[in-house]
Amino acid sequence: MADVIELPRRRTDDDDAPTFETVDDWGRDDRLIRLLVPLAWLRWSVSVGGIEQLPARTGALLVTNTRRVSLSQIYVAWALAREVGRPVRFVGRPDVAPLGPFLRRLGALLDDPTEVEGALRHGELVVMGAAPTGHPRHAGPVDHALIGSAVRAGVSVYPVASMSSPLSRNARADVGPAVRPRRKRRGPLAEVELAEATQRQLQKMLDEFGGVQTGVPPVDWLAEG
Amino acid sequence: MGGELGSLVASLLESEQWVGSLVGIDSDPPRRRLRRAEFHLIEPDDRSRIVDVVTKFNPHVLIHLAVWEPDARAGTAHARQLTSDASLAFFGAAAECPALESIVVRSGIEIYGRAQNSLTRPDESVHPNPTSEYGRMLERLEGAAMATAARIGIAVGALRLAPVLGPHVPSPLGRLLRQPAVPFSSLADPPFTVVEDRHAARAFVAAAQRRLAEPVNVVAPGAITALQAITRGRRLPVPLVGPEWALVRRLSHVLGAPIPEHVMEVMHRGRLADGSHASSALGVEATASAATIIDRLYKWETVVRVPSQRAAA
């Protein structure tokens, strides 16, 4: 019966070439992302800096600041992927259909240190968000459990200062140098201190961005960008 | 040794220099011509005969492939019983063999389960948490092998295979995907991976040769979703949301492609695993990606017609 009902197939020059794309090892659908990225760039015009800091082939954990409902992990991941020419994944998909599977197609990973560690061990670039804040220029606390996945995987942690505005397309994503802990630790203090150092470095980068600082969060929130 | 995978492993072992003599037991006759191997047709519940043959042979390595995937060749309850009978008989017999150095067990990545918030690509260090009957069968099987090995002080290696696909391998997933119209979860359409029978067979040979003493995931690189697989095979995709799955399962069963619990899990939650450890533990690299294996699945002939060599008188 399958020989009778046969659906049409896209014709290509090379018959043996794959005509349909697939997802990668982590379920990221590059074709879907290529379709959605132009729409994303209608919302954000992201200028990226500091990508020379990132490793060319090995994995790295990138920590970005998060303003509430700014979707900073997504635009940072996609903007960096565009610049470095390799997939950049982001942490924080729920495991509930249909949102979870959809975000997985966009490159999202579960908010689980073991999942993130697995990706880092396989040389993936992974963006995680600091705790969301109401102020666009404040870096929230960084989850040390996720930082621990980078420690165990033996990869570096990079701060990525991000900035966007709800009223403007302009957005920024600046990658800072890898965070170096002040002293080497063998135990769990390694990730706790590295998470604190990452938050400090991220805050420093955000302070260097400049911009409006009235001290009134709603005004600053709207005026950024 | 009677099943497709068993016959393939046996034929590969026959060509290995390090293999002295080879004995196989199955309830089905071998699917391939085996020249050196000695075959015994024994039912899994005939424990005394199995013990007799295994203890007389006194092997150095036992490769245990006697796992019945639900709805592949037997229904779930029957598959559970056959797998349980076979593991009891073979591990029990193996424990009586003084020369035995290693047991290699066929397992599957179904053992990791797909519970809420379970890892997307579990590696071998992840604790098994099966969420389907097949996964629980595999967990019991691995447990029985390890308990036996611990008692007699030998190594046990478990090859956790992704769903095995091959031209003659009975697979409920392969059978479902080859239907003219294939249901898929329109809300999730999660990715899964598979493994080719030849790759799995090479992994068993390498595990036996190296006396593997740990679990290893054996999967093809890459992943594919059900909709992508259906589209590649030019089948009619049938998007489903939820409650109608029960009806579709029954209908599919009637049409000859039952959808067991673990295949339902693939369709709703996906099934991936990290197979990177296999190359270092076994020295075996996959030659085909998941997408290529799916493409081959659709290229297999439904019925192979062999013309007569001379006309009938």
The single residue listed with the structure tokens 């995709």 is B237
Per-residue pLDDT reduced to its tens digit, A62-119: 999 998 888 999 999 999 999 999 999 999 999 998 999 999 999 999 999 999 999 9
Q: Can you say how many angstroms the Cα of residue B40 is from the centroid of all Cα atoms in its chain?
A: 21
- How far is the C-alpha of B199 from the C-alpha of B202, rounded, in Å? 5
**pLDDT classification of A13: cutoffs 50, 70, 90:** very low
Per-residue pLDDT reduced to its tens digit, B182-191: 999 999 999 9
Partners of B40 in beta bridges? B25
Tell me if B215 sits within 8 A of B289, measured CB to CB: no
Kind of pairing, strands B215-218 and B155-161? parallel
Q: Coil, strand, or helix at residue B224? A: strand
> How many helices (H) and strands (E) in chain A?
7, 7
**pLDDT classification of A206: cutoffs 50, 70, 90:** very high
- How far is the C-alpha of A126 from the C-alpha of A88, rounded, in Å? 6
Contact A118 B274 (CB under 8 A): yes
Contact A27 B270 (CB under 8 A): yes
Contact A101 B222 (CB under 8 A): no
B117 → closest Cβ in A1, A3, A95: A95
Percent of chain B residues past pLDDT 70, beyond the cut: 99
* Tokens standing for residue A136: 């666009």
A42 at interface of B, judged by CB pairs closer than 8 A: no
A6 to chain B: which residues are within 8 Å by CB? 234
- How far is the C-alpha of B281 from the C-alpha of B278, rounded, in Å? 5
Predicted confidence (pLDDT) at residue B210 exceeds the cutoff of 80: yes
**pLDDT classification of A5: cutoffs 50, 70, 90:** low
pLDDT value for B36: 87
**pLDDT classification of A6: cutoffs 50, 70, 90:** low
Predicted confidence (pLDDT) at residue A184 exceeds the cutoff of 70: yes
Phi, psi of B64 (to 5 degrees): -100, 100
Q: Can you say how many angstroms the Cα of residue B205 is from the centroid of all Cα atoms in its chain?
A: 15
Tell me if B96 sits within 8 A of B40, measured CB to CB: no
Predicted confidence (pLDDT) at residue A11 exceeds the cutoff of 70: no
A24 at interface of B, judged by CB pairs closer than 8 A: yes
* Tokens standing for residue B102: 């290693």
pLDDT value for B163: 97
